[in-house]
Amino acid sequence: MIISRCVFQCYSLDDKIRKELYMELKKGINFGGWLSQCSHTKERYDTFLGKDDVAVVAGWGFDHIRLPFDYNVIEDEQGNEKVSGYAYLDNMVEWCREYNLDLILDLHKAPGYDFNNAGNMEQNSLFTNDSLRKRFINLWQKISARYCKYENVAFELLNEVVEQEVASLWNSLIKDAVSVIRKNAPESIIIYGGVQWNSARTLKLLDKPAGKNIIYTFHFYEPLIFTHQKAKWVPNMIMDRDIQYPGTMKYYIELSKVLGYKGKDVTDTSDADMGDSLIRDMVREAKDAADSAGVQLYCGEFGVIDQAPPPDTLNWFRDVLSVFGSNDVGYAIWTYKEMDFGIRDSHYDSIRSELLKETSKN
């Protein structure tokens, strides 16, 4: 990769904050379901994705891939390295280099932490267990030592910390992880987000970074009642009707009440016309937090389930991409293939070309 292609200047709204980042990370896509949220078998690793898929992503005009991977791909339960698992990450690094793509290595599941165990502090004990904290730091020491020589690789510390009560402990773990990575990779991009599933509204709880080349990330699936409609894994989700987009906030507030805590970002919003107003307000809050910290803002996941009406899905993407564009927010769509959100799958056939055109506008 040619470094000069990747260097760009990041400016805050008042043009006083100026950072150099050696990656643009403007528009990307997730490779979900390959090395995370999957059956961890050699067959899965060998057949789900490959070099040809990297070529497709490059052909679509994306500039990077976000690669979720679980810790047990690269180490056993005693913390011993799995050479065969690292080979899959090595291959992806080289394939991305060949196609002039940047790559985010996203630790999706860590020893003692899994976003699927939301609220279960006995299972999600990473933040309160000293041995697990040390293992987390040691894992990032190994990863950063292995990939620090690649200018196209960024490190994302942990996907979707859920519990708000661990916000201060998360800040402490971030500081320790960044410190050990910087010993190996003083210039590499390091990415992390807030609590409550990387909510746009919790970036303000993060401590201001001490160094450079840090990016704040958030995930965006609002209104969840639309983007996750008929999702069997969401408690109390409405299953017997299509949810439309756009609509009024009154429409989304009423529907979102059944989701309880997961619908809170919508139900706590005043009644107004929908369109991009909720999206713009939430991204503005994230942008303000990033500007205050002097860092770039990035959306690591956003997308619409394959149960939603395709025309409404395209409407939602248009609004989100427009807001991201006007706020200088890079992004990675969730996701490339399957996982109920795959934009390569048949559900997206009728809108895929238009969706890709929208990504080229922003």
Residues labelled catalytic: 160, 301
Say if residues 1 and 100 touch (Cβ distance below 8 Å): yes
21: β partners? 8
| Residue 194 neighbours by CB distance under 10 Å | 26
Q: Where are the alpha helices (DSSP H) in the chain?
A: 3-6, 42-47, 51-59, 71-74, 83-98, 130-147, 167-184, 195-198, 224-227, 249-256, 264-267, 277-293, 310-326, 352-361
Please give the structure tokens belonging to residue 184.
Answer: 């190996």
Measured CA to CA, the distance from residue 122 to residue 40 in angstroms comes to: 23
Task: List the structure tokens of 195.
Answer: 């609590």
Scan for tokens 């996203």, then name that residue.
106
Query: Tokens 């859920």 — which residue?
Result: 162
152: which residues sit within 8 A by CB, 6+ positions away?
1, 6, 23, 93, 96, 97, 101, 102, 103
| φ, ψ of residue 101 in degrees (nearest 5) | -115, 145
- Are residues 331 and 27 in contact, defined by beta-carbon separation less than 8 angstroms? yes
Q: Indicate the SS3 state at residue 316.
A: helix
